[in-house]
Chains A and B, each alone.
Chain A
């Protein structure tokens, strides 16, 4: 019985989301997806009417999904499948590239969330982790033999540098919260700006590639990059990176569920007073949780440098911010981050296809993407909000499992 009172309609509304089981949550997400498609179809029709073009919403969504995987279905002919379609194609590569980066960013946010910390600073950790990995590789590469040996040495090295720098940058807001009681939401937002500014300054003043006009580091030598092995070179996607992302997901799940550290982290996130009672050091937990979160963000940055760009340049995409939504979609569950990141990847890959194939303006496609994410994320966001406000599920629906007590 909490002493805080919220208006009854708010309580009733949030209570609905708090009490949902996993199956119900999945069903709600599916219903949200359908609603999102209906609502955005209306938007598409209205937008088409206003601009004098006749957009067909069904066609747009078909191309969105189909295009994300390189058009496996032949939409405009009698045959179902496109002839000669192979899962290894450019669009699929783009989709999976986004998915990979978002898995790391989503994990970073989810780990912090589980410890009741809101790490909005993944973007900054990603920017600096990516820069550090690129610079380290450019420097070290000349001292390492090329070829396979070099690849095997330098790829882990680059990722490690990204993790360390991202982790240290995440530790700063952690330490500020633990020892100076500074709200991590505020500090991470500020540190994002600082990271972007610092990276830009460092590269433009000291580390710019002299042969280019733009703010970009020297290229990472080819053998130190995450190249396409199965997927075409130009696709900026490496299957190795995806495998690493899946391994990282399992590792994070394992740490949270099966280690003493993970137990402390989860207890700290659920009930700080109980964590202290159980012997966790509150300050150290905040710092180490933020460090782990930052390290995952740093790896995302290193992946971007080593896989997507092959250097570091200004204009890092907002993967770190998208990671927040991915984590919310996943209910902060590391395993759930995989499908959530994939959904984001599909929307990203598919919207390129809409642009190419149908000539729908990219802004309208972005609106559709936003609608889908908004609809699917809101129930989870309400659930988290309800939990945070201490609203309990409706007794009538929860009482079934509670027999046998006094």
Chain B
């Protein structure tokens, strides 16, 4: 791929990127969220058309209009979110769209489909039963079905989009074994990831993307984690947070014996006890998907817990509505800013009203005071350094970092007693991360309670006064982030008690 440029409204996702992948190798595209990795691969896969640049395959210029063209040329992509039909079998899913036929094409040949899938599965050691239904198999197995799908269609180049994001550590090991198997048989693999460790472990080459630019291709044999991290973010990674010691005050938010079950009755949050004091940042660390979202939803009033209570400033809010939570002084920076935190189609004035639409400051009875709301939007932009042409710009055309600043600004200017921040810096550029961190610390210094959920360990470790580690819905332990070692937190996040801990004295 040579000099690929791809623009989106207001953003250059790929700027003159050149990438060379050798046949039969594992090439990793490393970069932060929003660095343009997926965009580049979507150009290769025919989902996007580049504005500039040329793609060559085996020395020949190619131009894919659709993914079908890419598949025909032997390029397959395994997306992060699987595209499988749950009620159909493995063999049916693999052959879907290219089914073997019998009776002159009149009927689906189930037997030869099964045989073909079994044969492929055995050749690459996939350990899959073609007759099992998708709904009955594990996530790791589903991913292997996706890989089989591309192999069945004759792919020689396989693109993996963040393949480990949804896998357990064991499944990751299994995936890496399969990766070896595939390269041994001559396949070319491209890995998209933002995880350093993985990139070092499996790659033959690592290309680092930053802000849509190729900032270097390195050999994992000679590179260090630190050098890679620096390439990724463009400067020293460890952002030190300036924070004074200060005594915590009264409980601001108390969560006790909280239980949230999913539709199948499985506990997503299991008897969680947490107290956030005034003037304290309580961090929750954990691998994504260990019940953090469910915990947050039931604390902020988007969901009613199955058991337990949530108290805000001593008042029982367990069954209170979301609006009552907002009215009683709780701010919430949601994890998914584009689905929840902002209305993408609306401009910044209208977005400044979200959550404030019943606040007397912005309304006159049933009427919205758009004048006051506009002033508020301008204040957010001004104070929180939101880069936008103006308040009438749709939030959709802002970059991720600026979108997040709008939300953080709106939620902090609400003058809350308690703020719940869920992954507040996910996918946000480095400059904005620092700013958002400072804002959270400032709130704490003003004596507000802050509940911070993040899967970034260094973030929660630096910001928190106390750090709770969650694993499979349970709080493993609450530790002092200044004293605990990375290793111990890592063990807790993996559900293991480090030796020096007697038991879970929560």
Interface residues of A (CB under 8 A from B): 1, 3, 5, 7-8, 258-264, 267, 270-271, 273-274, 276-281, 395, 398-399, 401-406
Known: A258-B368, A260-B357, A398-B397. 18 other contacts (CB 8 A): A3-B81, A5-B47, A7-B66, A8-B66, A258-B370, A259-B367, A270-B345, A271-B344, A274-B354, A276-B302, A399-B7, A402-B9, A402-B11, A403-B10, A405-B398, A406-B387, A406-B399, A406-B402
Interface-lining segment among B106-114, B143-151, B334-342? B334-342
Is A278 within 8 A of B11, CB to CB? no
Residues of B within 8 Å of A5, CB to CB, are 47, 67
- Cβ contact within 8 Å between A277 and B322: yes
Q: Contacts A3-B79, A406-B387; is A401 near B393 (CB within 8 Å)?
A: yes
Q: When the two chains form their complex, are residues A402 and B397 in contact, meaning their CB atoms are under 8 A apart?
A: yes
Cβ–Cβ contact B326 & A279, under 8 A: yes
Chain B residues touching A, majority SS: loop
Structural contact, A406 and B11, CB atoms closer than 8 A: yes
Q: Does any Cβ of A come within 8 Å of B139's Cβ? A: no
Name the B residues within 8 Å of A3 (CB-CB). 79, 81, 83
Whether A260 and B389, one on each chain, are in contact in the complex, defined by CB atoms closer than 8 angstroms, is no
Q: How far is the CA of A345 from the CA of B264 in the complex (A)?
A: 55
Residues of A within 8 A of B345 (CB): 270-271
Chain B residues with CB under 8 A of A262: 368
Known: A278-B355, A405-B10. A261 touches B302 (CB 8 A): no
Whether A273 lies near B336 (C-beta < 8 A) is yes
Cross-chain pairs A/B with CB under 8 angstroms, 28 sampled: A1-B38, A3-B79, A3-B81, A5-B47, A258-B370, A260-B363, A260-B366, A260-B368, A263-B368, A267-B354, A271-B343, A276-B322, A277-B322, A278-B354, A279-B323, A279-B358, A399-B8, A399-B10, A401-B9, A401-B389, A401-B397, A402-B9, A402-B393, A403-B389, A404-B387, A404-B388, A405-B402, A406-B401
Chain B residues within 8 Å of A274, by CB? 339-343, 354
Provide the B1-39 mask, 1 if CB < 8 A to any CB of A, else 0. 000000111110000000000000000000000000010
Cross-interface CB contact of B323 among A261, A263, A281, cutoff 8 Å: A281
Collect the chain B residues with CB atoms within 8 Å of residue A276's CB: 302, 322, 340
Q: Which residues from chain A contact B42 at a C-beta distance below 8 Å? A: 1
Confirm or deny: B126 has a beta carbon within 8 angstroms of a beta carbon on chain A: no
Residue of A nearest to B47 (CB): A5
Complex contact B355–A279 (CB within 8 A): yes
Number of interface residues of B (CB under 8 A): 53
| The residue from A7, A258, A281, A395 contacting B9, defined by CB atoms under 8 A apart | A395
Closest 3 CB pairs of A and B: A402-B10, A279-B323, A277-B340
Q: How far is the CB of A302 from chain B (nearest CB, A)?
A: 25
- In B474-488, the 8 Å CB interface with A consists of none
A102 to B336, CA, bound (A): 41
Chain B residues packing against A (C-beta within 8 Å): 7-11, 38, 42, 47, 65-67, 79, 81, 83, 211, 302, 321-323, 325-326, 332, 334, 336, 339-346, 350, 353-355, 357-358, 363, 366-368, 370, 387-389, 393, 397-399, 401-402, 429
- How close is B94's CB to chain A, nearest CB, in angstroms? 18
CA distance A7 to B302 in the complex (A): 36
Q: Is the CB of A281 within 8 A of B321?
A: yes
CB distance from A159 to the nearest CB of B (A): 22
A25, chain B: closest CB distance, angstroms: 16
- CA A277 to CA B9, docked complex, whole Å: 27
Min Cβ gap A26→B in Å is: 20
CB distance from B58 to the nearest CB of A (A): 24
* Residue in B closest to A7 when the chains form the complex, CB atoms: B66
Q: How far is the CB of A279 from chain B (nearest CB, A)?
A: 4
Among B8, B321, B339, the residue within 8 A (CB) of A271 is B339
Q: Is the CB of A277 within 8 A of B354?
A: yes
Closest CB in chain B relative to A19 CB, distance in Å: 10
Contact A279 B393, CB 8 Å, known A270-B345, A404-B388, A405-B11: no
With a CB–CB cut-off of 8 A, which chain A residues contact B388? 404-405
Distance to closest chain B CB from A106 (angstroms): 22
- Chain A residues lying within 8 Å of B342, measured Cβ to Cβ, are 274
> A404 — which chain B residues lie within 8 A by C-beta?
10, 387-389
Residues of B close to A1: CB separation below 8 A: 38, 42
A263 to B373, CA, bound (A): 13
Closest chain-A Cβ to B153's Cβ sits at a distance in Å of 15
A398 to B346: give the CA distance in the assembly, Å. 15
B357: chain A residues within 8 A (beta carbon): 260, 263-264, 278-279
Q: Which residues of A contact B358 (CB under 8 A)?
A: 260, 279
Report the Cα distance A8→B46, complex, angstroms: 10
CB neighbours (8 Å) of B336 from chain A are 273
- Residues of chain B within 8 A (CB-CB) of A395 are 7-9
Q: Find out whether the CB atom of B341 lies under 8 angstroms from the CB atom of A405.
A: no
- B366 x A406 contact (CB < 8 A): no
Q: Which residues on the A side are within 8 Å of B344 (C-beta)?
A: 270-271
Of the candidates B79, B355, B393, B398, the one whose C-beta lies within 8 Å of that of A277 is: B355
Q: How far is the CA of A7 from the CA of B46 in the complex (A)?
A: 11
Q: Which residues of B contact A264 (CB under 8 A)?
A: 357
Q: Could you tell me if A267 and B343 are in contact, using CB atoms closer than 8 angstroms? A: yes
What's the least CB distance linking A390 to chain B, in Å?
A: 10
Q: Could you say which residues of chain B place their CB within 8 Å of the CB of A399?
A: 7-10
Contact status of A405 and B399, CB under 8 A, knowing A260-B368, A261-B366: yes
Instruction: A263 to B429: give the CA distance in the assembly, Å.
Output: 31
A271 to B342, CA, bound (A): 9
Contacts of B398 in A (CB 8 A): 405
Which partner residue on chain B sits nearest A4 by CB separation? Answer: B83
Which A residue sits closest to B355, measured CB to CB?
A278
Please state if A277 and B341 are interface contacts (CB–CB under 8 Å). Answer: yes
Which residue of chain A is the closest to B400 with respect to CB atoms? Answer: A406
A404-B358 Cα distance, complex, nearest whole Å: 32
Distance from B409 Cβ to chain A, minimum over Cβ atoms (Å): 16
Contact at B339–A405, with CB atoms within 8 Å? Answer: no
Query: Which residues of chain B are near A258, meaning CB under 8 Å?
Result: 367-368, 370
Q: Is the CB of A405 within 8 A of B323?
A: no
B353: chain A residues within 8 A (beta carbon): 263
* Contact assessment for B9 and A270 in the assembled complex, using a CB-CB cutoff below 8 Å: no
Cβ contact within 8 Å between A277 and B332: yes
CA A374 to CA B468, docked complex, whole Å: 61
In the bound complex, what is the Cα–Cα distance between A279 and B325 (angstroms)?
A: 8
Report the separation of the CA atoms of residues A404 and B429 in the bound assembly, to the nearest whole angstrom.
15
Minimum Cβ distance to chain A for residue B324 (Å): 8
Question: Which residues of A are found within 8 Å of B341, using beta-carbon distances?
Answer: 274, 277
Bound Cα distance from A7 to B69, whole angstroms: 12
Chain B residues whose C-beta falls within 8 Å of the C-beta of A267 in the assembled complex: 343, 346, 354
Contact of B429 among A8, A261, A280, A406 (CB under 8 A): A406
A96–B117 CA distance with the chains assembled, in angstroms = 67
Within 8 Å CB of B38, what residues of A?
A: 1
Give Cα distance in the complex from A258 to B368, angstroms: 5
Complex interface: chain A residues within 8 A of B429 (CB): 406
Assess whether B302 is in contact with A277, with CB atoms less than 8 Å apart: yes
Q: How far, in whole Å, are A140 and B357 apart by their CA atoms in the complex?
A: 42
| In the complex, chain B residues whose CB is within 8 Å of the CB of A259 | 366-368
Chain B min CB distance to A391 (Å): 13
CB distance from A3 to the nearest CB of B (A): 5
Distance of B1 from chain A, by nearest CB (Å): 19
A260 contacts which chain B residues (CB < 8 A)? 357-358, 363, 366-368
